[in-house]
Structure 1
Amino acid sequence: MKNKLLIFSLLIFFQVFVLNKIIFFDFLILSPLIIILLLYKYKKNSLENLLFAFFIGLAVDIFNDSLGVYSMVSIIIVYFRNFWILKIIGEEKTSELNDLSIHELGNFQYFIFSYPVISLYFTLLVLLESSSFLNLDVLAFILLSSSLNYVFMLVFQYLFLESKLSDEWG
């Protein structure tokens, strides 16, 4: 638990002070906030999850002067994530899961679970921060940023989250 708290705190630090100010190749934004929102524990119909998302988004909003954009996007993402995980995995398997990581779900199910949520995250950010949406540049931004963040999320999980497979084979 302490390791996750430290990792989540470092990700918020990088989101606020480093990565939110950098746009790669004029199309890509790396957002560790989506990693925190996707990896947070799942509880069905939980007010705790929504409050966690609100306060994480509020922390990013305070440091970025974004007037509640990240708070609103975070709440919508966690609400959609809780709905989406039931559709993808099913209610009986979600009670067995400790984390919503690639180690628990597997590669294919994790892709089906996480990529639409990441795409929704960037779509909502564009809708709330930009004046134009139906533009080829905006669609390229959403797709490329979603793909970059998915790859970043995979690398992050393989490097920093422990796999439960070593317990099964030992």
Structure 2
Amino acid sequence: MYVCIVASAQELPDIEELHGLDPDATIVFYNLKLDILRGDLGAPAFPSKEFQDRFLSEVKPVYYLRTRQYSRSTPNPPFMVNYQGCLFRSYPGQFQTLLDTGNGKYRRVEGNSVRPALGEFKQQLTDALKVEGILQEEGKTLDFLRTGYKTTTWWEEERENASDSWKT
């Protein structure tokens, strides 16, 4: 077993090489923040985007915690709603969308065996606020203008040569 702690995007190919040298060994990634590192792929002096398809898409998250904060304007007081939540998983459990209810407490909004894209995660939090009456339905046109046509990052999209292991 190998344990890799806090590797940079430039060091990820070294971990791939380690896997190639000992393919049957378990490699544990600890605190790599792969979502952030994936965003660097393809930039000068970084591994290419194909690295995601070839290697990173095979990495299965067993403990995952990603917090996000959002703001949304409303036509009624308080005119601005700040909300936050986290996407959480402890393997083999589900990916859970958790809404921050204040005072360090979270409420489970949704659970799924497949990791939602960050745009879908945000929509799950927003839908929970609509159910609670904090936000109102505004119609399809305004919803589209708020979210745009693209709600996923390049590596969250279906890719021909990529594995889905990182999502399950």
TM-score by length of 2: 0.31
Question: Normalized per residue, which structure has more helix?
Answer: 1
* Larger RCO: 1 or 2 (CA < 8 Å, sep 6+): 1
Identify the structure with the greater strand proportion: 2
Q: Which has the larger radius of gyration?
A: 2
